Structure 1
Amino acid sequence: MLVVAALGGNALLKRGEPMTAKTQRDNVRRAAKELAQIVRDGHRLVLTHGNGPQVGLLALQGAAYHPEEEYPLDVLGAETEGMIGYMIEQELENALDHERQVAALLTQVIVDRKDPAFAHPTKFVGPVYDKKEAEGKAREGHWTIAQDGDKWRRVVPSPKPMEIPDIPIIQLLLKHDVIVICAGGGGIPVVYQKDGSLTGIEAVIDKDAASALLAGKIGADALLLLTDVDGVYRDFGTPDACRIDTLSVEEAHALSLPAGSMAPKVQAATHFVAAGNMVGIGRLEDAVKILAGQAGTRISV
């Protein structure tokens, strides 16, 4: 079975944890042990990952160093894809005793420069702040901010992924039995210019949407959307909260989910699911059980 596993930003860097290299390395090491078991069970594996906290941190560092020379979000996305991809590659190789080849690929993803998302930023990046501090940061950096739970964060445009020009390279690596890490942070956002060339654009693509597009393009059998919550819940955050074991596409569309919760994952899932395919949503540490239908929320036709 060909499995695409998307590691959420909250799975690799939990809320409240310091954004240090050691913290991220420790979390990646734990993730790699679980993912290695998927490979040992005989499945082919492609990995994607989030980058919201990391790309926001890099933006802050750049602004503190040379505010007038800030790097654009597409360049910061490429930096985080390299940084996180390196850690996952190394720790997965270690977890597999170097018996399998692993490659991290910087991946461009084409978006439409006319996407309405550019006028309505919604993608959370960077650390959380209280409201007063966030408002101050917004004034200084000309940010757009939005509430994230009981805190506030910067939000940036998150256009829909349209095309992944690196698909032939990913397929070539898979043909040679390489475990591929790609489309990190949703991929590097690029747009076509009038002459047909590509150039980067200021955005951060939703990792789950890009992962669903990737899974469909490479003919994956299963898509795992892994986070720090054990599945999709009805009435989440209330005394009546109940985890959903299985969902059809129709049932998934009918769910009422807040935009900042599982909504992007469920939406991405419905775009991928087709005859014979499945999507599993749940905790990273339950990845093997989710694939076997023993944990998480499973979405299928």
Structure 2
Amino acid sequence: MKPTAVVALGGNALLRRGDAPSFENQLANIKIAAKAIAEIAREYRVAIVHGNGPQVGLLALQNLAYDKVAPYPLDVLGAESEGMIGYMLAQELQNLMPETQVASLLTRIEVDADDPSMLDPTKFVGPVYNEDEAGILAEANNWVMKRDGEFLRRVVPSPKPMNILDKTSIDTLLDAGQMVICCGGGGIPVCRSDFGYQGVEGVIDKDLSATLLAKQLNADKLLILTDADAVYLDWGTDQQRALRSATPAELSEYEFPAGSMGPKVEAAAEFAQFGGRAYIGALEQGLDVLAEKAGTCVAV
């Protein structure tokens, strides 16, 4: 049996910062992602997790445009984005690998409704704004805005994933030889209640969900592909430098931005401590990152 790799695609890798949020732009980036994943799939059983920050934020904006009904909650918008991106990925992968079945699975992930992030949102969603735009939108919609580089973006709660409710279905599909797109957008956040499971108003970080999936699948490798070519120290300064390899202990000595590289580093370190090898790198360099010719490798 082939070894198993969980591949995590950042939402910003599928819709680059500054790109117009059009279908054409997303499709062009998904074609790049599909080509990289198809190469990996020749050597590995592959489960794909994707982000949805730009996409779910766009859906929220479209949602506000129709003011005759209350806005749909974030868990429902997350499911919409999971279906949209999953369809586009599945179609491009199937076109590249017609002999391989590709399944896109809406995936529910259990979270704690009292997770601390519910009061301190950190997950970036939607497009970037300048100071004036961000202030107007924050006041009009009761949004929280935080800085993302030189711009501002909306942030929403990002509860930590606790359990993948549809993990048995993922196992079944992988065992049947299918490539599986799952836990999209970090998965649909749900929590236990007196009436069964119910949705939670938040967006799970897809890197943490990918790590949870990799651990539950006992995967060999976790590959986090994004719009950065590696993990950098002193990012944005004259002293910035790429970190090509590190242990979890070494990474713990540095601080990384909570809404972007921080969760990726946390996810990679957690999987490395579990006993696997984790990688962070650019979407276009997927196979080279996995071969440790590019990107950042995290291992004990």
Indicate the TM-score class for this superposition, using the shorter chain for normalisation.
Answer: over 0.9
1:33-68 deviation digits (Å, cap 9, x = unpaired) = 11101112x211010111011111111111111264
After TM superposition, list the pairs within 5 Å mapping 1:1-301 onto structure 2.
1-40=3-42, 42-66=43-67, 68-96=69-97, 98-195=98-195, 197-274=196-273, 276-301=275-300
Measured in 2, the distance between the counterparts of 1:183 and 1:32 equals 17
Q: What is the DSSP-based 3-state SS (H/G/I as helix, E as strand, rest coil) of the residue aligned with 2:114?
A: coil
Give the RMSD, CA atoms, in angstroms.
1.2
Partner SS, residue 112 of structure 2: coil
1:15-41 Cα deviation digits (max 9, x unpaired): 11110111111110111111101112x
SS in structure 2 of the partner of residue 126 of structure 1: strand
SS in structure 2 of the partner of residue 84 of structure 1 = helix
Amino acid at match of 1:295: A
Distance in 1 between residues matched to 2:244 and 2:124, nearest whole Å: 28
- Match of 1:95, as an amino acid? L
Query: For the residues of structure 2 that align with 1:136 and 1:67, how far apart are their CA atoms?
Result: 21
Cα distance 1:67–1:263, how it changes in 2: closer, same or farther (>3 A)? farther
Cα deviation code 1:185-242 (max 9, x no counterpart): 10001010024x1110100001101111111001110000100111111222122211
Taking structure 1 as the reference length, the TM-score comes to: 0.96
Structure 2: how far apart are the matches of 1:252 and 1:82? 34
Cα distance in 1 between the residues matched to 2:151 and 2:45: 39
Deviation at 1:116, TM superposition (A): 1.1
Q: CA deviation at 1:261?
A: 4.0
1:141 maps to a residue whose letter is N
In the TM superposition, residue 260 of structure 1 has moved relative to its aligned partner by 3.6
Secondary structure of 1:273's counterpart equals helix
SS for the counterpart of 2:147 is strand
Structure 2: which amino acid aligns with 1:269?
Answer: A
Does structure 1 retain, via aligned residues, the 8 Å contact 2:248–2:270? Answer: no
Higher mean C-alpha deviation, range 231-240 or range 290-299 = 231-240
Q: 1:259 to 1:189 in 2, by over 3 A?
A: same
| Residue range with higher mean Cα deviation, 83-92 or 136-145 | 136-145
User: Please, which moves more after superposition, 26-35 or 255-264?
Assistant: 255-264
Q: Does the residue aligned with 2:65 lie in a helix, a strand or coil?
A: helix
Task: Describe the shift of the 1:155–1:261 C-alpha distance in structure 2 as closer, same or farther (beyond 3 A).
Answer: closer
How far is the alpha carbon of 1:128 from its aligned partner?
Answer: 1.1
* % same residue: 51
For structure 2, which runs of at least 5 residues remain unmatched after alignment?
none
Q: What SS does the aligned partner of 1:286 have?
A: helix
Q: SS at 2:63's partner residue?
A: helix
Partners of 1:4 and 1:258 in 2: how far apart? 23
Q: Cα deviations across residues 81-103 of structure 1 (Å, max 9, x unaligned)?
A: 0000000000011111x110000
Deviates more, 1:49-58 or 1:265-274: 265-274
- SS of the counterpart of 2:21? coil
Q: Equivalent residue of 2:164, what SS?
A: coil
**In structure 2, how many angstroms separate the alpha carbons of the residues matched to 1:64 and 1:76?**
14
What residue identity is the alignment partner of 1:188? Answer: I
Verify the 8 A CA contact 2:7 2:225 in the aligned structure 1: yes
Post-superposition Cα deviations, 1:259-290, rounded to whole Å, max 9, x if no partner, equal 24421111111111146510000001111011
